[in-house]
């Protein structure tokens, strides 16, 4: 079919097939809707996998969905029509999966996460349905370009960093492994924020990711869940049994939006259900007619604030309250959804742990524990012990941090005001738990105080990590070192009391998105060499290992890396106006901006190189040409992180413009780093910066993505770096820095960063150059907070690891000069990274924690 004979009108496109949608499977308020019409029970067939069939479906969507002819359509019309066309190919599989889940009654994983960093959906859906070639040919027949339409998509703004990206990887793997799973989260209207730079400083803009339409979501307002807040509790007599009820003072509705989560070419499509807040009475006509228009919609505005943005800035009391509202809102909706819409009407709740396990992805969803107890005790009228026996088997907790300040606490005052019944339940859980602690340790009241879910100092508050640990069947860290430190340093009393609860599941990432989709040049080479099975069995990458000795394969591998660099440089030129020079080592550090991740250490390295050049101590022609790319967002209220971003941009502007550097050193910081940019940047990287202070990083997942795309790591023995180094080998990893015990010893002995500054001439010169105003137009005060923080606090010991880091970078420079040896190391990184597939992580969760299995 050629473009000039493609039908333009609906009539020419042929008859419209019955368009079954999830509404036939939709949940209704009350019992499950049971369709009885024969057509409603008939299976929905997928559209044909032919080019002509795809053209027909696409034009039908363009005509009927967008209401335009091809000749009058915009790029956005074409993208939306394409997305809905591809969506049709998943629909039959989705409906069949829903039907199968209900009939099989297999145990389901309810993944509760405040973040899902999904990335663009179109490419992943084309990959899952094996439609990329068909779609490309069909669009070409219409005179359209698939990459142009793919570039039109705005990725969902539903996450911030590793936590959300991990959740997205996990639900992808569970679908690919045919494990029943419902991902539960929040449909943030504006996501976290869109990062822009003004005079080098971060400025947050709303992330309007829904502005041009959301073709991948299915709203179901008829299945709204009512969520209550505030008020008080009261006791009453229930046929001789004293019970408690919650009398709330206000409520909101949770509207579910369903997203399809397709498995990789296996016919399985799981569901991600995101909740949006809406007022129960959104508009008061009487007040509107009186002329007070703002007051008429006040309830709507108030309710919708709950799901406006990810992690509202919580330095104010209002911000803290909004965060708690957010967390309770989504777990209340999610628990209600599963209990009322996924179980039979006569289901015996005593068997609930056989049907669901709720995974608490960090502390954000932990309020689900007292919520399930409230439902079972107050609404279902179970006695307390029965309810606790059920609840304590339905949850598992993943801790993602080692930083004490990241373990969430909520003040008793706020929790009691917003969720009074839940506070009562938490108090009782704590009382009964502490009875067990005192029974086990009768002479150790201090231990009981340390383990109390309720903290008394500095303010009376609820420690959510403690609650999750008491209630969860398992508590896991996300890398071997992290899990060890979690048990021995973060929750040592609990690991001693519950020795069988603590386990490890090292994180992983999905090879579908982060190799197959993100790196077509490398994935094509892999498939040509070892076949196709590696996409769902990443251990097969080990078959590449002998090819590290093959000169032709090394040449092809380098070509793939150069193609990825060319693609990235073109994107940065178009996206950000950034020009990176060819022929440089591409040195990449992308992650959330936080002091413990130590972007300042990377910056000190850059400033040292620059100072050595401009001082004349080093001839620039003798240093390895290097381009350093940063990507990071700072939390809006995190002043030091935002100052660090400003300093990076200031150093970049100065270095890039200085002719004395001779083009040997280049720095770039593209704004608004996200999954879409990561898919281009990670495959192009030569060197992966994983330089957090040992004992601070839980795991990291960027480190895994870089390794499996052929970048070598320079890193500390921290998080999953430990396991990466063990798998890829010491010769293929640039290790530096203190080990975790050495960090602890230095902290205990009294760390003095200013002393290190005085003793190391290079370090002193670099910090003095920053302090001199060389990067701020001569203004010494601009970056004084960063300098003072390094000299007098340096909580994460960047100065202590500085010299070791520079020595490791010198090894990098020497290694990169030998192209053949570097390529061999890069190939071995790829070949030995199979362990870091999220499919392996899911197998570990299934076996060690969830007790669930694939349901084919």
Q: Is the sign of the CA dihedral 270, 122, 211, 634 positive or negative?
A: positive
Write down the catalytic residue from 56, 512, 592, 664: 592
Locate all alpha helices (DSSP H) within 121-258, ordered by sequence. 122-129, 132-141, 146-152, 162-176
CA angle (607 as vertex; 601, 608 as ends), nearest 5: 90
Helical (H) or strand (E) element with 750 = none
Contact 796, 787 (CB under 8 A): no
Cα–Cα distance measured from residue 36 to residue 201, given in angstroms and rounded to the nearest whole number: 61
| Class of residue 614 by CB neighbours under 10 A (exposed 0-12, middle 13-18, buried 19+) | middle
Which of 626, 629, 625 has the alpha carbon at shortest distance from 576?
A: 629
Bridging pattern class, strands 454-455 and 461-463 = antiparallel
400 annotated active-site? yes
Phi, psi of 537 (to 5 degrees): -140, 80
Please give the sequence-ordered ranges of beta strands (E in DSSP) within 206-240, or none if there are none.
217-219, 225-229, 232-238
Contact 648, 599 (CB under 8 A): yes
Write down the catalytic residue from 87, 705, 832, 840: 705
β-bridge mates for residue 237, sequence order: 242
Contact 242, 514 (CB under 8 A): no
Cα–Cα distance measured from residue 569 to residue 39, given in angstroms and rounded to the nearest whole number: 53
Write down the catalytic residue from 565, 597, 602, 626: 597
Write down the catalytic residue from 150, 273, 591, 598: 591
597 annotated active-site? yes
The torsion defined by the Cα of 806, 809, 815 and 817, in degrees rounded to 10, comes to -100
Helical (H) or strand (E) element with 454 = strand 454-455
Q: How far, in Å, are 538, 711, 805 from residue 714 at the CA level?
A: 23, 10, 9
Locate all alpha helices (DSSP H) within 419-459, ordered by sequence. 420-440, 445-451
Write down the catalytic residue from 701, 716, 782, 823: 701
Locate all alpha helices (DSSP H) within 533-595, ordered by sequence. 551-576
Buried b / exposed e over 250-274, threshold 16 CB at 10 Å, is: eebbbbbbbbbbbbbeebbbbbbbb
Buried b / exposed e over 811-826, threshold 16 CB at 10 Å, is: ebeebbeeeeebbbbb
Buried b / exposed e over 348-383, threshold 16 CB at 10 Å, is: ebeebbebbbbbbbbbbbbbbbbbbbbbbbbeeebe
320 annotated active-site? no
705 annotated active-site? yes
Write down the catalytic residue from 268, 273, 400, 512: 400
482 annotated active-site? no
- The pair of three-digit structure tokens given for residue 768, joined into one six-digit string: 């003095």
Q: Tell me, what DSSP letter sits at residue 621? A: G
- The pair of three-digit structure tokens given for residue 854, joined into one six-digit string: 């694939």
On the CB side of 74, CA atoms within 13 Å amount to 7
Angle between helices 420-440 and 384-391 (to 10 degrees): 80
The torsion defined by the Cα of 67, 68, 73 and 77, in degrees rounded to 10, comes to 20
Q: How far, in Å, are 165, 314, 323, 452, 456 from residue 317 at the CA level?
A: 29, 7, 10, 25, 19
Q: Which residues are catalytic?
A: 400, 591-592, 597, 701, 705
């Amino acid at each position: 079919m050629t473009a000039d004979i493609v039908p333009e009108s609906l009539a020419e496109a042929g008859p419209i097939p019955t368009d079954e949608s999830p509404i036939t499977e939709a949940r209704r308020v009350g019992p499950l809707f049971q369709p009885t019409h024969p057509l409603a029970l008939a299976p929905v067939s997928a559209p044909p996998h032919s080019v002509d069939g795809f053209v027909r479906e696409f034009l039908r969507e363009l005509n009927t969905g967008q209401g335009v002819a091809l000749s009058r359509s915009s790029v956005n019309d074409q993208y939306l029509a394409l997305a809905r066309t591809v969506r049709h190919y998943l629909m039959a599989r989705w409906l069949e999966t829903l039907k199968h889940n209900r009939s099989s009654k297999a145990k389901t994983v309810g993944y509760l996460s405040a973040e899902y960093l999904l990335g663009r959906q179109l490419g992943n859906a084309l990959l899952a349905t094996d439609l990329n070639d068909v779609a490309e040919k069909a669009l070409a027949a219409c005179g359209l370009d698939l990459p142009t339409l793919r570039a039109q998509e705005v990725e969902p703004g539903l996450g911030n960093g590793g936590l959300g990206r991990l959740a997205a990887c996990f639900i992808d793997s569970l679908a690919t492994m045919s494990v029943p799973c419902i991902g539960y989260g929040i449909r943030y209207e504006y996501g976290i924020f869109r990062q822009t730079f003004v005079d080098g400083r971060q400025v947050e803009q709303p992330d309007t990711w829904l502005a041009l339409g959301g073709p991948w979501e299915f709203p179901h307002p008829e299945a709204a869940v009512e969520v209550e807040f505030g008020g008080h509790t009261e006791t009453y007599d229930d046929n001789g049994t004293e019970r408690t009820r919650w009398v709330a003072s206000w409520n909101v509705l949770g509207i579910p939006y369903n997203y399809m989560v397709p498995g990789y070419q296996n016919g399985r499509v799981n569901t991600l259900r995101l909740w949006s807040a809406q007022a129960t009475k959104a508009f008061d006509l009487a007040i509107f007619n009186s002329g007070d228009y703002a007051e008429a919609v006040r309830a709507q505005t108030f309710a919708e604030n709950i799901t406006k943005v990810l992690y509202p800035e919580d330095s104010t009391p209002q911000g803290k309250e909004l965060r708690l509202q957010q967390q309770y809102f989504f777990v209340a909706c999610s628990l209600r959804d599963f209990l009322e819409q996924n179980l039979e009407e006569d289901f015996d709740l005593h068997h609930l742990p056989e049907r669901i396990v709720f995974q608490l992805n960090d502390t954000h969803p932990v309020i689900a524990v007292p919520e399930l107890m409230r439902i079972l005790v107050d609404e279902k009228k179970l006695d307390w012990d029965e309810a606790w026996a059920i609840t304590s088997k339905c949850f598992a907790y993943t801790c993602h941090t080692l930083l004490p300040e990241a373990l969430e606490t909520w003040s008793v005052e706020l929790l009691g005001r917003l969720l009074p019944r839940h506070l009562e339940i938490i108090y009782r859980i704590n009382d009964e738990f502490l009875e067990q602690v005192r029974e086990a340790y009768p002479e150790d009241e201090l231990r009981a105080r340390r383990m109390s879910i309720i903290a008394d100092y500095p303010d009376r508050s609820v420690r959510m990590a403690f609650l999750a640990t008491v209630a969860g069947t398992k508590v896991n860290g996300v890398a071997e070192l992290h899990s060890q430190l979690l048990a021995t340093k973060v929750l040592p009393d609990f690991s001693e009391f519950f020795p069988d609860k603590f386990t490890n599941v090292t994180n992983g990432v999905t090879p579908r998105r982060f190799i197959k989709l993100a790196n077509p040049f490398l994935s094509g080479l892999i498939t040509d060499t070892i076949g196709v099975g590696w996409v769902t069995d990443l251990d097969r990458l080990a078959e590449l290992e002998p090819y590290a000795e093959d000169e032709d394969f090394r040449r092809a591998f380098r070509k793939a890396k150069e193609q990825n660099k060319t693609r990235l440089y073109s994107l940065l030129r178009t996206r950000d106006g950034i020009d990176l020079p060819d022929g440089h080592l591409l040195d990449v550090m992308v992650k959330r901006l936080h002091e413990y991740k130590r972007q300042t250490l990377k910056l000190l390295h850059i400033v040292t190189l620059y100072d050595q050049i401009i001082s004349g101590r080093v001839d620039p022609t003798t240093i390895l040409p290097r381009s350093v790319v940063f990507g990071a967002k700072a939390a809006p209220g995190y002043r030091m992180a935002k100052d660090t971003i400003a300093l990076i941009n200031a150093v970049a502007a100065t270095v890039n413009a200085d002719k004395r550097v001779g083009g040997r050193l280049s720095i770039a910081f593209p704004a608004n780093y996200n999954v879409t940019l990561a898919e281009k940047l990670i495959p192009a990287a030569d060197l992966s910066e994983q330089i957090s202070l040992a004992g601070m990083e839980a795991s990291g997942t960027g480190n895994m993505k870089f390794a499996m795309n052929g970048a070598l790591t320079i890193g500390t023995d921290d998080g999953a770096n430990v396991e990466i180094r063990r798998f890829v080998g010491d010769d293929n990893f640039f290790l530096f820095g203190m080990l975790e015990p050495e960090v602890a010893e230095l902290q205990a002995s009294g760390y003095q960063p200013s002393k290190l500054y005085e003793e190391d001439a290079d370090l002193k010169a670099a910090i003095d150059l920053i302090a001199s105003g060389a990067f701020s137009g001569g203004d010494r005060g601009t970056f004084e907070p960063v300098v003072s923080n390094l000299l007098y606090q340096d909580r994460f010991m960047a100065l202590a690891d500085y010299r070791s880091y520079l020595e490791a970078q010198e090894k990098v420079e020497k290694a990169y000069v030998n192209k053949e040896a570097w390529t061999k190391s890069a190939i071995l990184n790829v070949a030995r990274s199979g362990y870091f597939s999220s499919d392996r992580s899911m197998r570990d969760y299934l076996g060690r924690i969830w007790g669930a299995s694939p349901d084919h």
